[in-house]
Amino acid sequence: MGKTSFLVFGAGAWGTALSLQLHKSGNNVFLSSFDQTNLKNIASSRMNEKYLPGVELPDDIHVTEMAQDLLSEIDCVVICVKSPYFRKALSELKRSPASFKVLWATKGFDLESGMLLSNIVSEYYDAGIEHGVLSGPTFAEELAHNKPAAITLATNTINDPSQLAAEMSNENLRVYISTDPVGVQLGGSLKNIIAIASGISDAMEMGANARAALITRGAEEMRTLGTSLGASESTFSGLSGIGDLVLSATDDQSRNRQLGMHIGKGGNLDSFRETHNGTPEGVHAVSALVNAGIVNDDEFPITSKVYKILFEGLSAKEAGMELMSRPLRFEN
């Protein structure tokens, strides 16, 4: 059997790290991006100094512009762009008549509708296309340095997910399989919102008790929304649920937690954007959910408070007081 050809579309930190791991697994790997300037810099220096500095790319990872003849050589595309650019990425891929599997490692919702990204894939491709989502507790820098990690491939349409998981796995990366793409997508997206809240709490020195309460009640908000949308409850106990939540809510490598800490120290979203590359996915996620009317203050108080802090001027201190003074209720 020949090598499987993967195109990773999105040359940020995560796309670059995933390219390295797919290459380590023995695959033929192409890396492309909308950012042509950064792509040229990566091709010439063999490093992604903008998003993943200090990590060298092997010469046989092909850094290239998107082209129709390239897509004809690809077995599987992995979309790693930020959620606001997900539709644009699909539009670019759809131009090709070639047949390939479509995976995405983007964690978020469609900003226009609040829908899951799997629904957007269905808008662009017919039911016959094999597609799935990759998600789990992973930081790009650790993955790029070959530190052990585990992720989930969730799909209901890929004919042989075990084979695909094996092609992506290696001694440093273990790929598990799920048949719950709804739950896996929700876990990977919602945990970013809770990570913002955790960062705020820790920066305000509210203590370990408060952090544990936020993570636990945040996990309940994830489960509540997930099951209402058809996800399996058990998914939120897995890698893409509690696994990713604990990682993002407790480790300072998390950009969403970094944003929360910035706010907890007196900053805001605008000042964070001035000193960091781009906007954390939790911002897009909470905006999409609230604007689409999917969440409310009664069932999803943490999510709602994060939105009000980011976009309506609610102070972090006031948000904490409001959460603690809510009417008492049964835990589940």
Give the fold, CATH level 3, of 182-324: N-(1-d-carboxylethyl)-l-norvaline Dehydrogenase; domain 2 (1.10.1040)
Amino acid occupying residue 149: A
Burial (0-12, 13-18, 19+ Cβ within 10 Å), 50: middle
Quote the tokens at residue 122: 């269905």
The partner residues of 226 in beta bridges, in order of sequence, read: none
Residue-wise pLDDT for 210-256, tens only, equals 999 999 999 999 999 999 999 999 999 999 999 999 999 999 999 99
**Pairing between β-strand 149-154 and β-strand 131-135 as defined by DSSP bridges:** antiparallel
Place of tokens 């992995």: 78
Same fold: 5-179 with 182-324: no
Tell me how far apart the alpha carbons of residues 274 and 269 are, in angstroms, rounded to a whole number. Answer: 9
Residue-wise pLDDT for 109-150, tens only, equals 998 899 999 999 999 998 789 999 999 999 999 999 999 999
Amino acid occupying residue 88: K
Parts of the chain with a pLDDT under 50? 1
Quote the tokens at residue 9: 């579309």
Classified as helix, coil or strand, 280 is coil
Place of tokens 């939120």: 236
Q: Residue 328's pLDDT is what?
A: 95
DSSP of 22-79: HHHTT-EEEEE-S-HHHHHHHHHHSEETTTEEEEEPPTTSEE----HHHHTT-SEEEE
Q: Where are the domains of the chain?
A: 5-179, 182-324
Other C-beta atoms closer than 10 Å to the C-beta of 91 total 10
State the Rg of the chain over Cα: 20
Q: Residue 80's pLDDT is what?
A: 98
Output the CA–CA distances (angstroms, integers) from residue 268 to 52, 108, 264, in the order listed. 25, 21, 9
Q: Residue 2's pLDDT is what?
A: 60
Q: Which residues are catalytic?
A: 191
Q: Residue 332's pLDDT is what?
A: 82
Could you give the dihedral angle defined by the CA atoms of residues 3, 8, 9 and 10, in that order, rounded to the nearest 10 degrees? -160
Architecture of the CATH domain 5-179: 3-Layer(aba) Sandwich (3.40)
Spell out the residues 6+ positions from residue 245 whose beta carbon is closer than 8 angstroms to its own.
Answer: 187, 191, 194, 195, 215, 218, 219, 222
Phi, psi of 176 (to 5 degrees): -90, 165
